A and B are shown apart, each in its own frame.
Chain A
Amino acid sequence: MAKVLGKEVLRSDLIALKVEAPEIAKKAKAGQFVVVRADEVGERIPLSLARISPEDGSLGLVVQTIGVTSSKLGAMNVGDDIADIAGPMGHATPIKNYGRVALLGGGFGAAPMYPIGKALKEAGNTVTSIIGARSADLLVYEKELAEFSDQVLVSTDDGSKGFKGLVTDVLKQEIEANGVDWVMAIGPAIMMKFVSLATKPYGIKTFVSLNPIMVDGTGMCGACRVSVGGKTMFGCTDGPDFDGHLVDWDLLMTRQRTYLTEEKVAMEKYSCSCVPSAK
């Protein structure tokens, strides 16, 4: 059981929770994740860590309320209990002084960039954070990333803020203008794929935090298997970070779609049962 200590609505569909988990907070390193089960009938889902706070024994989780579990978590309030939280899972992101690093956060991927970027900054890197959205009102985490970044670059599809276009265009400009030694991308698979494609011609080492379907998160089932450099690996125990230039992106995206039909069924059932009742 883990108590919800704080809640912030970042955007109508993006909820940040502060969760009491002192033992995990003491152990977790940037880039690791937790496996969460919302309630007794719940499924186990992996969530990246948006904040690791050993000083007050809490973890920060950001969920996009698209599926049944994320909706259950998003509906929780301060004082509620999350049934299970286990971790820290996976390997930490390798933090060292690479020189000039660029971090790209797609959607709510901007949140788990926070602990990684902070650690990279503390290791002496010059940090450029690049975030994008369809329009200015959908951007999140700009202020938070500015806490440690040397610069935060923004792009929007409609040009309502920052560069008009995609985060990959901003990245290319930054590479051409100032040079970049190391790149990390967190977000939807399609975004991480295009970031990897963008850096490949430059030969810049590019880390990605893969998000395959997981069940246990401890290496016992292989649901999260991915193909990296032609080798089958388990996302939960071999990752979640991999070399973006070696990932089989099409396989990852196909496997992520395994339960689309069932996810819809579960979501419809959840939406029905959470129509406000008389009480």
Chain B
Amino acid sequence: MPEQDAKARGRNFEEVTIGFTAEDALREANRCLACKKRDCVSGCPVEVPIPEFIALIKEGDFIGAAKKIKEKNPVPAVCGRVCPQESQCESKCALGKKNEPVAIGRMERFVADYERVNGGGSSNGQVKKPKPSGFKVAVVGTGPAGLVVAADLAKLGHEVTMFEALHKAGGVLVYGIPEFRLPKAIVQSEVDGIKALGVNIKVDSVVGKLYTIDELLGDFDAVFIGSGAGLPMFLNIPGENLNGVYSANEFLTRTNLMKAYLFPEYDTPIKKGGHVAVVGGGNVAMDSARTALRLGAEAVYLVYRRSMEELPARKEEVHHAIEEGIDFRLLTNPVEIVGEDGWVRGIKCVKMELGEPDESGRRRPVTIEGSEYVIEVDTVVMSIGTGSNPIIPNSTPDLEINRRGYIVADESGATSKPGVFAGGDIVTGSATVILAAGAGRKAANSIHEYLMTKVKA
């Protein structure tokens, strides 16, 4: 897929990958063997009818293909961009055994973009309005899990109201994943597509503060909690409260949601330029490092305690980060953030080597004695993971949570509280967009079943 030149793109917030042309999409679609086994579909957490939408591309019906995807996935322009297809649909493609698998993600993205530009907006696969069921469902959180639940239930005729704590809907799609990987206008368009199904979205509404779950149960027949895992974690090393130390959540929220990269056109400030260390090795760490670069940093270091093989980030994003000049300091563990007059001046690290495998099967990093050194930086971004925000559990005492603070829900999304369902990161801990969407799909099905039993009662 064509991409912006690595040097040029490292200084702008434009999307890195340029996307397929119609010719590219047709050529790629014709590689699909339309095999009987359809393993690609089972590799997709929301079971998009892949061979069927590719068949429509072959006929040149791009809008039809987009509508076909939206029968199962209300946010294809997002998923086509940020899913780790290499470990999902594309990993199951029959062609992939000998050659490159069919580029399913890129075709999904192409038809969704084509429909948005040429079809007058995002349709969400709805031809006619369903018969109203008379049931009302509250969806807490407007991230990927909540958006799928809302779209699915609206299509079944239920009246859906979504509650969002921030001033914009989309969850991690708007505050977390940067513009250069996922343009915010595209997220907005997909959210608008869900609104077009009749879903009502209330922003600035913090559930647990403005309304409790119990109050929602008084007004709605069922509640879905998809509030995510948004609590930032810190290492608890000395110097972490110095000026210039950010959680990745703060760094990315300022940049993406508040558009601090356009300061002072937008009012929210962020520290730009200088030398930046990002601690961690996941997708959020890659996003933070590449964001720092685009904010004008002279040098960006990625500090990770294991080696290249263990980096949890997507291969494509690691590759992009290396191309753009991020300095990877692997097998390196921060022990202290050093400061002067309250500001960060450097990050003290020790070198590590890999020892015996631990319980998770990964080789445990062990400190090399006497290897301490300081990387001189003025900004540090902590990207070592997130936890469960306690606002909802604290205000809902009879909702069962596990030791780590996540909501306990079964396969179908049912929680310990009748009528309350949950899914996505608030149940599993931080995972991927599409796994949250998949959890949303399952929960929507069980909410529908639950409501149907209420009819009989």
Q: Give A residues with C-beta under 8 Å from B.
A: 23-24, 27, 37-38, 41-44, 68-69, 83-89, 215-216, 218-223, 225, 227, 232, 237, 251, 254-255, 257-259, 262-263, 265-266, 269
> By DSSP majority rule, is chain A's interface helix, strand, loop, or mixed?
mixed
Chain B residues in 8 Å Cβ range of A86: 165-167, 204-206, 210
Q: Contacts of B246 on A, CB cut-off 8 Å? A: 223
Kindly report which residue of chain B lies nearest to residue A262, judged by CB atoms.
B269
A254 engages B243 (CB within 8 Å) = yes
B404: min CB distance to chain A, Å: 16
Q: Type the 1/0 row for B255-268, where 1 means its CB is closer than 8 Å to any CB of A.
A: 00011000111111
* Interface members, chain B 229-288 (any A CB < 8 Å): 230-232, 234, 236, 240-241, 243-244, 246-247, 249-250, 253-254, 258-259, 263-271
Tell me how far the C-beta of B265 lies from the nearest C-beta in chain A, rounded to whole angstroms. Answer: 7
Interface check B391, CB cutoff 8 A? yes
Most buried by A among B210, B240, B253, B391: B210
Q: Which of A38, A218, A227, A266 sits near B269, CB closer than 8 Å?
A: A266
Given A43-B258, A221-B250, A225-B241, A266 and B391 contact (CB-CB distance below 8 Å): no
29 contacts between A and B (CB under 8 A): A23-B210, A41-B259, A42-B267, A43-B268, A44-B167, A69-B267, A84-B203, A88-B209, A215-B250, A215-B253, A215-B258, A215-B268, A216-B253, A218-B206, A218-B230, A219-B230, A220-B249, A222-B250, A223-B247, A225-B241, A237-B390, A237-B391, A254-B243, A255-B243, A257-B342, A258-B243, A259-B269, A262-B269, A263-B269
Known contacts A23-B210, A41-B265, A216-B253; A83 and B390 CB within 8 A of each other: no
A257: which B residues are within 8 A, CB to CB?
243, 342
Residues of chain B within 8 A (CB-CB) of A38 are 267
Main secondary structure of the interface of B (DSSP, over half): loop
A263 cross-chain contacts in B, Cβ below 8 A: 269
Q: How would residues 203 to 229 of chain B score, 1 for a CB under 8 Å from any chain A CB and 0 otherwise?
A: 111100111000000000000000000
B307 at the interface (CB under 8 A from A): no
Contact in complex: B241, A84 (CB < 8 Å): no
B-side residues, CB < 8 A to A, are: 165-167, 203-206, 209-211, 230-232, 234, 236, 240-241, 243-244, 246-247, 249-250, 253-254, 258-259, 263-271, 342, 389-391
Number of A-B contacts (CB under 8 A): 113
Q: B258 touching A44 by the CB < 8 A rule? A: yes
Bound complex: CA A44 to CA B210 (Å): 18
- Complex Cα spacing A140 to B246, Å: 37
Q: Nearest B residue to A23 by beta-carbon distance?
A: B210
Q: Give the chain B neighbours of A87 by CB distance below 8 A.
A: 206, 209-210
> Given A87-B209, A215-B250, A237-B390, are A220 and B268 also a contact pair (CB < 8 Å)?
no
A223 to B249 Cα, complex, angstroms: 9
Complex contacts, B166 vs chain A, CB 8 Å: 86, 216, 218
